[in-house]
Structure formats: C-alpha cells, structure tokens
Amino acid sequence: MANSWVNSAERIGADLHLELPATGGRRAALITALREAVREGRLAPGTRLPPYRSLAADLGVARNTVADAYAELVAEGWLTARQGSGTRVAQRAEPLRHAGKWPVDAPARARTSAGAPACPRASTTAPPHGRAPTQPPRVRAAKATPPTPRHDLRQGTPDASSFPRSAWLACSRRALQQAPNEAFGPGDPAGRIELREALAEYLARARGVRTEPGRIVVCSGVAHALRLLFGGRVLRGPLAVEAYGLPFHRELLTAAGVRTVPLPLDEDGARVDRLGRERAVLLTPAHQFPTGGPLRPERRAAVVDWARARGGVVLEDDYDGEFRYDRRPVGTVQGLDPERVILLGSVSKSLSPAVRLGWMVLPERYVDDVLAAKGEREAWASVLDQLSLAEFITSGAYDRHVRRMRQRYRGRRDRLVAALAEHAPQVGVTGVAAGLHAVLRLPPGTERSAVEAAARQGVALDGLAAFRHPETDMDAGDGLVVGCATPPEHAYAAALEALCRALPPHAPGT
Amino acid sequence: MANSWVNSAERIGADLHLELPATGGRRAALITALREAVREGRLAPGTRLPPYRSLAADLGVARNTVADAYAELVAEGWLTARQGSGTRVAQRAEPLRHAGKWPVDAPARARTSAGAPACPRASTTAPPHGRAPTQPPRVRAAKATPPTPRHDLRQGTPDASSFPRSAWLACSRRALQQAPNEAFGPGDPAGRIELREALAEYLARARGVRTEPGRIVVCSGVAHALRLLFGGRVLRGPLAVEAYGLPFHRELLTAAGVRTVPLPLDEDGARVDRLGRERAVLLTPAHQFPTGGPLRPERRAAVVDWARARGGVVLEDDYDGEFRYDRRPVGTVQGLDPERVILLGSVSKSLSPAVRLGWMVLPERYVDDVLAAKGEREAWASVLDQLSLAEFITSGAYDRHVRRMRQRYRGRRDRLVAALAEHAPQVGVTGVAAGLHAVLRLPPGTERSAVEAAARQGVALDGLAAFRHPETDMDAGDGLVVGCATPPEHAYAAALEALCRALPPHAPGT
C-alpha cells in the first residue's frame, strides 16, 4: 500500500479519504464518493485519476465497477476522458440549474459556484441538471470569476458528514414496523402522539421545559413555526426582536406583514427593559444569535414579568440549547412560566436540517389557534420522520448523538481558539461557551475587508453586519461570525489555516 | 385452534385479525394491535378479552407479554380490569386533546369521537393525550351522542393498512447509505436532484409529462404548492376553479387573498369556454373531483389555446392519475404544452399522506419565482423522504405498489357496483372508471337525508353539496361521494353493507 494511489500525495496532492460504506451497491457508492471528492475540492480540476486496476485494488472492488463509475461520471460531466491523457477531473463542472438557463451573456455571478458551491441552492450533487447525460458540461475558463470558496465557515448548519445514518435507519425500521396502520392515513396536525410524548419527556429533562404532549405542536422547523404563528394570525405584530439576529426570520416576518422592532443587546443579553408597546418578543435566551451570550437570570425574570403585566408572550428560539461546553446547561425561559412563553425548537442544528422537524411548546390558550392555522390534516411534517424521531429520542440515540456532537464541536471550538492564539493573537473571540459558532472581534472598520480577505482565501463566512437589524441604532462592533460545525472533520484544519491568513494583522491601538 | 379465542365468534363477535409484525418488540406490537382493534371497532366496548394464557398461545408470545400489554392499555384507558370481571374494552375511551380541555359542560360534539374517530384530528393512537398514564380516562354514558362512525367511506385517502412498510424501509436504507454527505446539510429548495430526476422519468412514462429535473420543484403536497404559487405571489387571482372541488383548496386560496371563480361542469368536463378574465384556472383533468369524468380531448385543446391566447396558465391537479381501471391512462394536459400548464402532484393518494411529498412541474418562466417563494433553503419537505422516494421510484417499487393498489381499488370498485346492483339497484353510480371514489346518484332532495341515514348506520361520507362552490349556479344534482379506498381491506364488506342500508329505497320517477 506504500505505492497506493489513494494515499500518494505526489499523484493527487492529498489524501482522498475515499470511504465506501460497508454495505450497498459498490458502483453507486464509488460514484458518490468521487463526486463528493470533486465537489469538495479534494480532487482538484485537472487531476488525473488512477487506472481502474489500481483504484479497484485499493478499494477492494471489481475493476469493472471502477470502469463503470468513471464512465458514469464522464457522462455526467464530472470527469473527462481523452485518448492518451487518461481520466481526469473536469476543469469546471459547472452546475446548471435550469435547462435553457445558460445564455452566453449571463452575469458572472451565476457561474462562480463550481467545485464546492457556497450557496445551498447550488450545492446539489449532479452538475448537469436537466441535461442529457451524454452531453458534456460546457467548460469555461475561470479567469473573470473570484475563486470558489473551498472552506465553508458560515454559521447555521451542523457537520453534515456526522449524520447518524445507521442509528437513524435502525430507529426508522423499528418505528415503521411498530406503527399502527392509522399512522399512514391523514396526519393529526398536532403531530404524532409518539413524538409529542417523546419531546415532552426529553425537553423536560434536557431543557427544563414544563409541558405535556397536548401543548406541543409539531412543525417543519422554526421558520414554519413563525409562519404559522404570524401568517396564521395566532399572534400579531409588531414583534420585538433582538437587534442582531437571523435576517431570514426577519424577512419571513416582514413577508407575513409583521413589523419587527429591534431591541438592543448588552453583555447581559437583550435589553428587555426597553420593550415598548409590542405584545410579543422573539429572543434567543440560551445563546444570543449571533453575538453569543446567554440571557442573564434577572433579564429572564424581567421578560416574564413584562409578559405577565402586558398580556404579552415571549417567543423563545432555543436553536442550539443542547450545545454548551463550559458550564451547566442554561434552562429555558419557558420553564419560568409555561403560560407566557412559546418555546420554538428543531433538530436542524442538533441532528440535521434534512430532517424537517421542529416543535412549538405552547401556552394552552394558543393551542387551538395554532392547530387551526395548520389545517385539518398534517400538510407539512413527514409522519415517517415523526415516527422515526420519536423512536430516536426514546431509544436514547438522540442523547448519544448530541453528546458525541457536543464533544466534537467543543474540540473544534478549542482548535479555533488555539489557532487564533497562535496565529492571530490580536483577535478576540467571544460567544464560545456554547453553540456551533463563535464571533471574532475585529478593529473598527475592518469587518468588510476581513470578509473579503477571507473570500480571497477561499473561506465563506459572514460579518456581524449581515445580522444587524436595519432599524437599530445599536452597534455591536466589527466581527466575523465563524461557524465551526459546517466543514467535514477532515477539512476543518485547512479551513482554520485559511481563516487565520485572512485576519487583519493588528488589533486596534496595539 | 378450533377453540381459539381469536377466531371464536361467540366470544368476541368477529374475527379480530390480530396480526403482529414478524419482527420487532412483541409487547409493543400487541399493544398497537389491540389499540387498533378497539379504535376500529373490531373490539367493541364492553367486550371481554381472553385470559392471558389463551391469547399468548394463539399468538405464540409469552404470557407476561400479554399481561404487560393489558396492563399498559388499562393504564392508558383503552381497557378496564375489574376483580371477577376480567379485562374488558373500556366503555368509552375518550380522546382528550389538550390537558385541561375537559370542562364538564363542553358541547357534545367534542365528545363523540371515541372508538373510531371520524375526524383526523382525533385519530391519534392514545386517548389520554397529556394525561399521566395512571389516571384512567373519564368514562361517560353515550346516551346523548350519535353513534361513532364505524365505517369511513370519506374520499381522499388511500388504504392506510396497505402502506408498503418493508419495501419503503429497504429503499430508505439504500438511499441513506448511498447519499452523499451534503444531503444532510441545508437542502436545495428545488428538492433533491435524485428525486427530481426520478420524477421526470416516471411522470414522462406514466403520465405523459414533458419536463426535465430543472423544472420540477418538490414541495410537501398540492396544498403547499398552491400556497407557494399564490401566497408567494408567483400567480395572482382571480383563479377559475371547477364548480365542484375540494373546499380545502378553495379555503386556502381565500386565506391567501385569492378569489376563486366557479366554472360549470358538464359531461365533457369543465366548461373551459366559459373562462372569463381570469389568468389562471385550476382543473382536475384526469378525473374531475368529485364528479368523476375526464376532461375530454377537445376541452383539453381548448384550455391550452385559451392559455396561449390570454397569456394564462392551467394548474393541473393530477391527484389520482395513476388509478384508471377501464381504459388506457389519460395523459396529462401538461403534455400538450409544458409552457402553459403547471402540473401538481403528490404521493398522498398513490402511497400515503404520511409521506409529505408533492411536486410542481413548471413552465420555465415560473421556476425562479417559485424557488424564491420557497426560500433560500428547503424548509418543508423532508430530505430523508425525498431520498427514499427517489429510490422507491427508480427501483421499481413505486410501480409495483401502484399496480397492486390499482388492482385492489378496482376490486373494491367492482364490489361497490355489485353491492349497489343487488341491494340498491335504483341508485346510479358514476365516476367509477378511475380513482379512489365514486358518486352515487340520488333522487333530488334526498342527499342530506341519505348522508344522515348513513351516519345512523355508522358510515362517514359526504354528499356532493359539500364540494359545491358557494358562488356557482350550477347544480350537479344529489349524490353521495363514496371513498372506496379508506377502510382497511377486512372492513370493506361491512362498510358496503352499512352503506346499502342507508340508501333511499326509490329512484325518482320509478
């Protein structure tokens, strides 16, 4: 194996990490693995692939399997095969989103997402969408376009390579075998009772939530929950929100006709003493997004008091409450007063956004209205996933997964902090006691250039400004929001190196 | 086995059909099977259950397993155990939706859904939602309430007991094992390319659809598609709709601010010559819902001509296009002009509404707007289900399932027609060449009393009036819309008998 192609740095420049699953079709698995290697940049454009024989021997598969996989990927446009030149990674496997959408004079931005696309809309597997497999993709010179980000340090998603496929499948099998027949008929808009029971128990134990299955409504995620609450007229605006937060949430609220009013932040969290005439406030108490601190106890008590006095309601977005590293978990505000707080949660960070499941834990007075907004039957959340998740939680697999990921993300957090201490000691880092992201504090006026410098290093990330409410007069300063969870494990070190290269050399006043 | 309890009509009055899955926990499976038997009315209130020993022997399980299952169901309130009286089915296992929602003076309608609930909101497994398992459910005398429907002949859902659990699980396993890691990250709002490719191939082959993966957008069902198109302002009202159709669709359109304008129907389908100034029309061309005929060829051509001339668009709801019995499949209108028709489809009828997946096949000019309405990432449709369904389709399992269900539903259709010919020859039946429902034609003025008579026989179904657009001046006559697919196979004969008992004795003028 010393001469093995897979591990030969001279021939391909990096360890390919071609791992085929232990079971299932070899050909399909190899195609998938090669596609991913190209997409993630581990196999660079122009790289010559090993002869069928060598790769077949390395992987322990038949030579024809490799030949077929190569042929398929050539047909799909990922590879090219030329007489005398062998099989190589195509220079530019351009994703084509819609057939007929390839005008010669299209703006350059539409063509920059080859390789490892930064935009989720472009991150599908196969480049030649909607094109016959025999047509090779058009190859373009890349001169005019900026380099494709090779390191994804944007916040918001867990490590996709850590999805617990086997454990999930085992739970799905048990759940679907045991489910009563009626589970496959029209769904209860409240969600499966099995899942609501599992959530009631889990949320009480892990997050200090006080509820019962009858007050939980399953949905497809926190965004869906907000749409149901405001689009369904269960709640009405204006809604107070944190001055820094997810633009995505603000935009969907605006689209639902809800005005959002920014609430400034300080070191104790949102300034809930500044609440005005709003009747509802959306907070991230466990880990302010994106600045990173928890809402302090006196603020928690104050916001509950406000809700009681004003007949208002607190929307608690508990988006990453499971991931705390340096101290005991911070319980939910919901536990202080279940009749004044709507808890919103999902598995998007703890498990995967591919499982489109979330939940609302509701004060009793909202249950009927939320169910009415959902409709007579479940029209959104997959019942199969609901059954599987219920089994995943009750079997203990969810706890095991969260524990494993907490360790992994803590390790990444530590590596980020160590890398900064070594290579960019002038850069402060905050918000690292919890969660899947950290904030790197920058000298005033340097954020935009740091984001651009990161892009030149192939690093995709956002500055704090991207999360600022357009109407706030508060300024959280300059900073980079670094998602530690997104890259696959083997790519994290390189991402940190690229990040450090992009940071400004001097701290303010030093 | 001649003395077996399970098959002893004297002791329980009917064959219990207690079938436990071959694998998985025995105790949980038995609990599930008994719950279902009670819920479906196969085990009537008051029925005495066999001793542990007998049932254990019949089912080949340990005696303790039966004892545990009984104890659990007693705790849940499904069964009662009294000294000297053995274990019996509880008189009324009242579903309690929300804790604290049980005022003594609640209206009777809230309490009628015990046994086999007619309303999907009530059809969850466990009666004591939100109640500690040790509290028995309150038992009420049933005097003041009408009998619970024991036969569900409402249209709209496939036989839930026919969900192909094993085949689906096998496809899930293959799909999840083969999926690239990025599948578990944020989802493409267009849907997984694997599913869009599978759908493009399948819809072309089975439904004559002309498209490509780049023009397909995955969603969670047809209702979601309508919400995206109109709520997302891709299309604007007013929208012409068939004078008889799903109230659910009309209501969600109204909620999205879209006025619907009724289009009369005749024996050739919707009167598309009556289209006015609308720019969009929603049709069910394969099988008009609910009256049952196809849209005739000249009408198909005419509506496409209208769309071309007016710059309009046809929304084609292909809700049960796979289920045709007496002639070759009717292709889609979409095949006539892919740039003038939006095809809407889902697996809710062909597979199960528990799989919350549907699709839009779009003219190119709408693709970007629909994707923008969906959002930057997939927020709705389970990616796991998308991968599984793609494998289910490409492996041929979907074709096999549809073929099997077509045979089964055709058999049910034949049994309905035969039962009517024998027991109610005065009642005409239409719309039976296709689909999961039929229309029983009634003498004028008798529809409401027939629906009520059916309710008295324990049959849940709707009359044609339930589907009539409130603003139409068209009258399709009196009729019952009978869903043949909903009951489990073993319950269909009894449902037909009960239906026939409810039908009026004389046809008009005979």
For chain B, positions 26-85, list CB contacts with chain A under 8 A. Answer: 28-29, 32, 35-36, 39
pLDDT-based confidence at residue A126 (cuts at 50, 70, 90): very low
- The token pair at A259 is 């005005």
Name every chain B residue with its beta carbon within 8 A of the beta carbon of A385: 382, 384-385
Average pLDDT by stretches of 10, chain B with 510 residues: 34 48 76 79 75 76 81 74 73 40 29 32 33 32 52 93 97 97 96 97 94 97 96 94 96 93 96 94 96 94 96 96 80 95 97 97 97 92 98 97 95 95 93 92 95 95 97 96 93 96 68
Rg of chain B, C-alpha, whole Å: 25
Predicted local distance difference test score (pLDDT) of residue B467:
97
Q: Which two tokens stand for residue B57?
A: 């022997």
Least Cα separation, residue A502 to chain B (angstroms): 26
Q: Is the pLDDT of residue A140 over 90?
A: no
> Contacts of residue B213 in chain A, CB cutoff 8 Å?
129-130
At residue B4, the pLDDT reads 37
Q: What is the ipTM of this complex?
A: 0.74
Unique residue bearing structure tokens 């050399």:
A505
Residue A5 has pLDDT above 50, yes or no: no
Other Cβ atoms less than 10 A from the Cβ of B60: the count is 8
How many residues are present in chain B? 510
Contact A67, A96 (CB under 8 A): no
Using the predicted structure, report yes or no on whether residue A208 has a pLDDT greater than 70: yes
Structure tokens at A390: 């219920």
pLDDT at A327: 63
Q: Is the pLDDT of residue A15 over 60?
A: no
Residue A443 in this model has a pLDDT that exceeds 80: yes
Q: What does the block give as tokens for B483?
A: 């869903």
Q: What share of chain B is helix, strand, coil (3-state, %, to 5)?
A: 40, 15, 45
Residue type at B133 in one-letter notation: P
Average pLDDT over residues A384-400: 97
Asked if A19 reaches chain B (Cβ–Cβ under 8 Å), the answer is no
Task: Tell whether the model's pLDDT for residue A2 goes beyond 70.
Answer: no
Closest residue in A to B352 (Cα–Cα): A184
| Residues in chain B closer than 8 A to A94 (CB atoms) | none
Selecting from A23, A186, A378 the residue whose C-beta is nearest the C-beta of B157 gives A186
On whether any CB of chain A is under 8 Å from the CB of B213, the answer is yes
A354 touches chain B (CB under 8 A): yes
Least confident residue range of A16-25, A414-423, B465-474, B485-494 = A16-25
- Cα B495 off chain centre by: 17
Question: Count of A–B CB contacts within 8 Å?
Answer: 280
Could you read off the pLDDT of A66-76 as tens digits, one per residue? 888 887 777 66
* CB–CB contact B163 A184 (8 Å): yes
| Kind plus residue range of the DSSP H or E element containing A369 | helix A364-374
Closest Cβ–Cβ partner in A23, A123, A220 for B177 = A23
**d(C-alpha A186, C-alpha A203), whole Å:** 27
Q: Which residue in A has a C-alpha nearest to residue B387's C-alpha?
A: A354
Residue B394 sits at the chain A interface (C-beta within 8 Å): no
- Supply A358's token pair: 């979330």
Residue of chain B with shortest Cα separation from A18: B180
Using CB atoms within 10 A of its CB, is residue B144 exposed (0-12), middle (13-18) or buried (19+)?
Answer: exposed
Contact A180 B125 (CB under 8 A): yes
Which secondary structure element, helix H or strand E, spans residue B429, and what is its range? Answer: strand B428-430
Contacts of A302 (CB under 8 A, 6+ apart): A272, A273
Average pLDDT, chain A: 83
Lowest-pLDDT choice from A105-114, A144-153, B238-247, B325-334: A105-114
What residues contact A166, with CB distance under 8 A and at least 6 apart?
A: none
How far apart CA B192 and CA B385 sit, in angstroms, is 10
Predicted pLDDT at A326: 75
Alpha carbon distance A12, A284 (integer Å): 45
What residues in B contact A101, CB-CB < 8 Å? 214, 364
Helices (H), B424-446: none
Contact between A237 and B119 under an 8 Å Cβ cutoff? The reply is: no
**Inter-chain touch B169–A173, beta carbons under 8 Å:** yes
The 8-class DSSP code of residue A270 comes to E
Q: How far apart are CA B375 and CA B343, in angstroms?
A: 21
